[in-house]
Each structure stands twice: as C-alpha cells, then as structure tokens.
Amino acid sequence: MSWEENVRKVVPYVAGEQPKRKDIIKLNTNECPYPPAPGVRRLAEQMNTDDLRLYPDQNTTGLTEALAAYYHVSPSRVFVGVGSDDVICMCFLTFFNGARPILFPDVTYSFYDVWADLYRIPYETVPLKSDWSLDVEGFDRPCGGVIFPNPNAPTGLYEPLSVVERILKMHPEEFVIVDEAYIDFGGESALPLLEKYDNLLVVQTFSKSRSMAGLRIGFCIGSEKMIRYLNDVKFSFNSYTMNLPSQLLGVEAVRDDAYFKETTGRIIATRERTKQALSGISFTFPDSKANFVFATHRSVPAEEIFRYLKERGIYVRHWNRPRIENCLRITIGTDEQMDRLIGTLKEMPGIL
C-alpha cells in the first residue's frame, strides 16, 4: 500500500495576492486603508517584549471581556479566534457533524466548501437569484446546518434581518451561522436575534472594520452552551492560539469606539462616491453594504480590466469561476485611491 492513500487530500483555499511592493494600490483583499486606532499604535510602541517569553492567556480573557462589554453580553457567550477564518473553521469542526448536508449560497465566501471538504462534511449550495440576493426558499429543506455571510461576499449584498430570521425559523434544530465579516459598513447585525434563537451564532472580525487584518483577530457570539462546546474543541486542538500582542492590541481597538465609527463612516462615504463614479463609466453592481463593490462592465470583460489595472499597479480581485467570471471585486480604499482607480479605468480603451 502506498502511504499516499492515507493522506488527507484537500484542495486549499486561494487567498488574494499580498504583493511585496508598497507602491501599488491594493484593492484586492478588503483590508482597511486606514491604520488601526491610535491606542493600538501607542501600546505597540510601549509593549514589554520580556513578556513574550511566557505563554499567552489561553482564555484570551482581556479581549473576551472587552468584546463582551462592547456587545452587552456575558463573556461566557464570546469565543475569540485567530481571525474569523479560525473561528469559522472551529465552528465547522464543532457543529457540523450531522449526516445531512450543510447549506450555503453558491456564490459566497470560497472558504466554506474548503472547510467542508477538509472535515468531510457533506454540503449543498443554494444558488443566489439572478439579482444576487439569497434565495431564501432554497434554504427550506432538511439540512445539517446553514452558514452565509451578511453582507454576502463577494457580492456585498446585505439581507435584512427578516431574511436571517426566516432562515432561523426554517431550521430550529440546526445551527445557523451568520458570518458578519462586513457588517460594520452599514448593515444591521443579527446579534439582537441571539435573545430569541439559541441555534444562532454570529461571527465577526477585526480584519476589515478595525484595520487589523495583520493581527488575526476574529470572534463569535452565541449561547453559553455553544461557546462551551467550541472551547472544548479549541482546547483539544491548540490551547495557545492567539498570541499576546494580538490579545493586548485587540483590546485597544475595541476601546476606541470613536475612531472605529470615524473610519467605517469614511469608508461608507467613499463607497457611495465610488458607486456613482463606477456607474458613470458603465459598470453595474449589486448595492453593496460592505467595504467592496462587485462590479461588471457593460462591454469590457472583467479579466481584461483586471490585467489592465494590475499592469498599472492597481490590484483588484477576479475569479475564473462560473457565474462570477465577468465580475471584479474592488475593495474600497481612500478617496484618493479610488480617484486613481477611476482615472486609470477611464484611460482604458472601451471603458467610456
């Protein structure tokens, strides 16, 4: 027997490029163009590196408590992980162990099918409608759980809480995970629904709205029981997942609510300006409530635009996948960066 037969074979997720060059305009992985809160910087500059000889707090107590206070829940309802990727991956391992397939949209965060394959979790996808909205009725079938982002990625479309609630009502016996990676850019969080539905888990991240993708901080809020089960799995996997600097600096980010509101507000304003500018040069897109726009040009294929921009140092995201091959996901940067993008697009033959 060849040893290769016993390998867990997986097709890994492909993240957006992280080029080393600093002179590009990076609009391809939905990072925030603004730095983290000033308190984060201050603390980072004063950090006592002698403390790094110790293991970090495995319960991430400080950060968990800061998040619990911010979202008005008990700390026993908060689970912190190394980015929301880590949190969601732990959720798949912990909660999706039924024989029935889990459900998620066909066009969505492309890590979900990778985790399902990794853990051998059966899944089915529910096609989005032609306007990119969720086909709510499509979720009304026996399943082993549901996960979807709200706003969805890469479409940016936000579904009202009534839609989230309809899905929760369809599946009172299953876990429903709402991935709110982009919720801080204008959507309404499903967190209040936690009071009514104990099968709901809401996941969020510091990577976008809190400008801290580099520190890898994500979290979820659910019932105390769910969080206990998640912790049991986490502590059976790796106790010391989150490093000390991330734990300390994360607290500083939560503390500065004024900065958080200011930066998310700026991004929302830039997004709305960008939508207008893109419409003016014949792009169409679903009405994004995220920090990106999912745009298609009337006549020029997305892949050509993608290459044209890249050659000129502007990175956006493009996938060669069914249904979305003619779309570009463009992260919202600063006003200046978006002006450069629009200016460069206008110079491309066929755009105007």
Which residues of this chain interact with ligand PMP, rule CB under 6 A? 83-85, 109, 149, 153, 179, 181, 205, 207, 213, 218
CB of 116 to ligand PMP, least distance (A): 15
Nearer to ligand PMP, 177 or 342 (CB): 177
Tokens of 43: 């603390």
CB of 2 to ligand PMP, least distance (A): 35
State the SS3 of 168-210. Answer: HHHCCCCCEEEECCCHHHCCCCCHHHHHCCCCEEEEEECCCCC
Nearer to ligand PMP, 79 or 308 (CB): 79
CB of 204 to ligand PMP, least distance (A): 8
φ, ψ of residue 215 in degrees (nearest 5)? -95, -15
My answer on whether omega of the bond before 151 falls inside 30° of 0, hence cis, is yes
Nearer to ligand PMP, 171 or 317 (CB): 317
Beta strands in 106-198 (DSSP E): 123-126, 146-149, 176-179
Nearer to ligand PMP, 85 or 252 (CB): 85
Tokens of 295: 């745009």
- Rounded CA gap, 348 and 136, in Å? 39
Nearer to ligand PMP, 87 or 248 (CB): 87
CB of 153 to ligand PMP, least distance (A): 4
CB of 142 to ligand PMP, least distance (A): 25
Nearer to ligand PMP, 84 or 189 (CB): 84
- Rounded CA gap, 294 and 229, in Å? 36
Residue 141: half-sphere exposure toward Cβ, Cα within 13 Å: 14
CB of 205 to ligand PMP, least distance (A): 3
Question: Could you write out the DSSP letters of every residue in 260-313?
Answer: HHHHHHHHHHHHHHHHHHHHHTTEE-----SSEEEEEESSS-HHHHHHHHHHTT
Q: How far apart are the first and last CA of the chain?
A: 61
Nearer to ligand PMP, 146 or 181 (CB): 181
CB of 108 to ligand PMP, least distance (A): 7
Q: Which of 337, 209, 333, 338 is nearest to 283 (CA)?
A: 338
Q: Among all residues, whose Cβ is closest to ligand PMP?
A: 83
CB of 179 to ligand PMP, least distance (A): 5
All residues at 6 or more sequence positions from 147 whose CB lies less than 8 Å from its CB, including other chains: 88, 91, 102, 103, 104, 112, 176, 177, 178, 179
Counted residue by residue, the chain has a size of 352
CB of 58 to ligand PMP, least distance (A): 20
Q: What is the DSSP letter of 210?
A: T
Nearer to ligand PMP, 83 or 144 (CB): 83
My answer on whether omega of the bond before 322 falls inside 30° of 0, hence cis, is no
Tokens of 123: 């899944």
Nearer to ligand PMP, 295 or 342 (CB): 295
- Provide the Cα torsion 3, 98, 230, 83; round to 10°: 70
